[in-house]
Amino acid sequence: MDDKRYHLTLTEGAPPLQIRAEVCLIGNDLVVTISGGAKPHVGAVAVGIPRPSLDDPDIVSATASVFAMIGHKEDDLARNMARVLAAKLNRTVVITVGIHVDKISAEEIGDIEGSCNRLLENLLEMIKKMWG
Per-residue pLDDT of 61-86, as tens digits, reads: 999 999 999 999 999 999 999 999 99
* Extended strands (E) in 1-132: 7-12, 19-26, 29-37, 44-52, 60-68, 93-100
Domain boundaries, the chain: 4-131
Residue type, 130: M
Tell me, rounded to whole angstroms, the distance of Cα 110 from its chain centroid.
Answer: 17
What is the per-residue burial (b if ≥16 Cβ within 10 Å, else e) of 4-15? eeeebebebbee
Give 3's pLDDT tier (boundaries 50, 70, 90).
low
What is the C-alpha separation between 4 and 26, in angstroms, rounded? 13
This prediction has a pTM of 0.93
**CATH code assigned to 4-131:** 3.30.230.100
